[in-house]
Copies of this chain bind each other. A is one copy, B any other.
Amino acid sequence: MTVLILTNDEDVTADMVVVHLNASGVPVVRLDPADLITGAALSGEYVHGTFRGHLWSAGRLVGMDGLRSVWVRRPGAPATRVTEPSAWLTEESSQALYGMLRSSGARWMNHPDAARRARHKPWQLRLAQGCGLPVPATLITTFPQAARDFAERFPDLVVKPVSGAHPQEPPRAVPTSRVAPDADFTAVAFGPTLLQRRIAKRADIRLTAVGERLLAARKPTASDADPDEVDVRFAADRTPWRCADVPPRVAEGVRRYLREAELAYGAFDFVEDADGTWWFLECNQSGQFGFVEADTGQPIALTIAEWLARPAAADERRRVNGTTTTVQ
């Protein structure tokens, strides 16, 4: 049974996982959907009520029923490396590839439907609330007056994008920034705006969840840190990440979040306040982990490899996107 990794050639983080899979002798096929038609091929046949499908990539042929798990890392858009790419060819190739994989019976990290849903920030905030994770007071609005009212109640505010990343190629993260309570909120009418109470933090927390395993890392905020530097991704501070224990209530909330969201992998960002409370900021279902592993030595790549290599339990194989089905 083979592990299929959907990602691009430059993905060195995937290489870290492949090393562990190779070491344990688990067959791996790596495929960038962008290579479809030119460097990769597929075929599937539906005859007499049965299905037989195959994928071919980098000289390896694998049957759809021989897939143990699919890791969706950083796949390129399908069939974009041909001489004359087109939206039509990409759509046809995407439907053919993902349409077949969806009925393969393999375990997904993460399933495309769960991944897509998990990107919705408003949904994340509501789910975190429902799972008992503390969420800073947040407003998402196109009403300038709602923004003004909110700023009056919560004068210490940050603003951040609703969607997380600017959809350019490659996508660019937009930093979270402080906003003054007397700011001119007129522009809110020109696009949905996310305002959030700023948490005076004494540390940033990155919690990487792989299946049932939770690996937390903590980066203390320097005592002389500029309070305007709210976004740890863009901070000048080079304090390394260090391993941290996960408080039991947070662990419970995070596991519940993953279960409800049907995610096998999630990178959670929290901030820790002066009381030691971890405030949920977001869960990135495809968040990077290389930098945390490098700083902390946490075995994230190994844990992912172990999850991908695990034989599918009979009951798990029947589970597709939360529903039991017979089309495996």
Contacts and interface: CB of A to CB of B under 8 A. Distances in A.
Interface of A: 36-37, 41-51, 79, 82, 87-89, 91-96, 98-100, 102-103, 113, 116-117, 119-127, 129-131, 135, 137-143, 146, 150, 161-163, 166-167, 189-192, 260, 262, 321-323, 325-327
Contact of A41 (B100, B124, B143, B166): B143
Contacts of A137: 45-48
Contact of A95 (B42, B92, B122, B262): B122
Contacts of A99: 120-124, 140, 162
Residue of A99, A102, A135, A260 with highest tally of chain B CB at under 10 A: A99
A100 B94 CA distance: 28
B140 A44 contact: yes
A262 B323 CA distance: 9
A93 B37 CA distance: 35
B126 A192 contact: no
28 contacts: A37-B142, A37-B191, A41-B142, A42-B140, A44-B122, A44-B140, A45-B137, A45-B139, A46-B139, A50-B129, A88-B166, A88-B167, A91-B163, A92-B163, A92-B192, A93-B191, A95-B119, A95-B122, A95-B192, A96-B162, A99-B124, A100-B123, A100-B140, A113-B321, A117-B321, A130-B327, A260-B327, A321-B322
A36 B142 contact: yes
